[in-house]
Amino acid sequence: MRLAEMESLALNIGLVMFAAFVFFIIYDLAKKSNAGKFGTFILFGALGLGLAAFLVKTLVVEMMGGGHI
């Protein structure tokens, strides 16, 4: 396995772990603040939207051929 392939694999694994950690943080925030179902939905919608936009941007750049993921 070449270094570039290893770096690409590590980046993808790191991004998945980062996304999971962010969602855990949002869940923990909702739980500790007693947000309820609707509040939890709003928290995941608002705070998760930033992460989703980052991931979508990464996918769009890759699909356009400008990225080296």
Give a yes or no: residue 38 inside a domain.
Answer: yes
Residue 44 CA neighbour count, 13 Å, CB half: 16
How many structural domains is the chain composed of?
1
Query: Residue 22 sits in which domain range?
Result: 3-64
For 3-18, how does the pLDDT look when each residue is reduced to its tens digit (9 = 90+)? 988 988 898 899 889 8
Question: What does the pLDDT read at residue 66?
Answer: 63
Give a yes or no: residue 47 inside a domain.
Answer: yes
Q: Taking a C-beta distance cutoff of 8 angstroms, is the pair 8, 68 a contact?
A: yes
For 41-69, how does the pLDDT look when each residue is reduced to its tens digit (9 = 90+)? 998 888 888 878 887 887 888 788 865 55
Structure token digits, residue 48: 């998760």
Question: What does the pLDDT read at residue 34?
Answer: 93
Give a yes or no: residue 56 inside a domain.
Answer: yes
Give a yes or no: residue 69 inside a domain.
Answer: no
Nearest partner of 20 among 56, 1, 48, judged by Cα:
48
